[in-house]
A = this chain, B = another copy of it.
Amino acid sequence: MDTKQEILNAAEVLFARSGYHASSMRAITENAGVNLALVNYHFGSKEALLEAVIARRLRPLNELRLKRLKEIRNRSGERNMRPDPEEILRAYIEPIFGSREPERGWAYFSNLIARAFTESDEIVQKILLRHMKPVNQIMLDMLSDALPGLSDEEIFWRYQFLIGAFGRAIRLNSSPGYGRLKRNFETDSETLITMLVSFSTGGMKTTGIPAQR
């Protein structure tokens, strides 16, 4: 009972820090303080363990994000207005940075999530993308609604740009390995989210698409 959680915790840390392939089951079980064979007993395989690590946190997280996005959509619908891009972006990204009560594992997990979009490892990419897709789709649709006058192609690419910015922000914020890059800025999550939303909103609202298309 406790063993499963210990394995999940240790795997979360190592996957986030060193990646899926570089984290051996021996390293995971050693850090968890349990026997090597117990991973296969409890989860079946290393890949299934990764799936469990992701699902454990991503399920409740995505429920919250979906709830907030739908609230925005309903509210703007009632008033017959377009949704505010900044609100959409905040609802999408804020929950990822962690809950109000900062849990020990969140920093590691948010780092792991940031891989969802950048990681080229096929296994990690496949599993993470499967869990992220519903939220991403709704957010993309809402952005399209919030920013009239942009072609689907432009909406799509601007969405990708901000996903890239989001991912990088999460990584830098949560990964100790990136410490060298962070200089001495001790930016707290609140401020970082605000800057990120501000930057992204500025990019999304840009009208200066040159005419060369």
28 contacts between A and B (CB under 8 A): A16-B120, A19-B21, A19-B121, A21-B21, A21-B22, A114-B118, A115-B120, A118-B168, A120-B171, A120-B175, A125-B177, A157-B192, A157-B195, A158-B199, A160-B168, A160-B172, A161-B168, A161-B196, A161-B199, A164-B164, A167-B168, A194-B209, A194-B210, A198-B206, A198-B209, A200-B203, A202-B205, A203-B203
A21 nearest CB across to chain B (Å): 5
Give Cα A17 to B122, complex, Å: 9
Chain A residues touching B, majority SS: helix
A contact residues vs B (CB 8 Å cutoff): 16-19, 21-22, 111, 114-115, 117-122, 125, 152-154, 156-158, 160-169, 171-172, 175, 177, 181, 183, 185, 187, 190-192, 194-196, 198-206, 208-210, 212-213
Copies in the complex: 2
Give Cα A191 to B191, complex, Å: 33
Give Cα A3 to B92, complex, Å: 49
